[in-house]
Amino acid sequence: MRKNILHVMALGAALALAGCLGADSPEEQLKSIEEMQAKNNPMTAEQKSGLEASLAKGREALAAGNKEAASAAFGEALDILKKAEDTAIFNKSE
């Protein structure tokens, strides 16, 4: 019985970790970007220009069929949006 519980727990942990670390497709990343942009978190001018540049680069690469480059560019955009979101949450807590 104890061994079965440990197996279930190990499987659950492995699946959770795989879900967190699994690479999203560029299309899924773009959807996440659009959802985060809808939150309208405040961003600096530098963040806004970096976001626009990353999105343009990612969309161009995606249109050209280069999913690796698109994913990298969208990853940069997500990083910018996550940082802006974290900053907004921190500022609200004060």
Q: In angstroms, rounded to a whole number, what is the distance separating the alpha carbons of residues 51 and 73?
A: 9
Sequence-distant (≥ 6) Cβ neighbours of residue 51 within 8 angstroms: 43, 77, 80, 81
pLDDT in tens, 47-92: 999 999 999 999 999 999 999 999 999 999 999 999 999 999 998 8
pLDDT in tens, 1-40: 566 565 556 556 655 554 454 458 999 999 999 999 999 9
> What pTM, to 2 d.p., does this model score?
0.72
Which is nearest to 78 in space by CA: 1, 4, 41?
A: 41
Q: In angstroms, rounded to a whole number, what is the distance separating the alpha carbons of residues 28 and 35?
A: 11
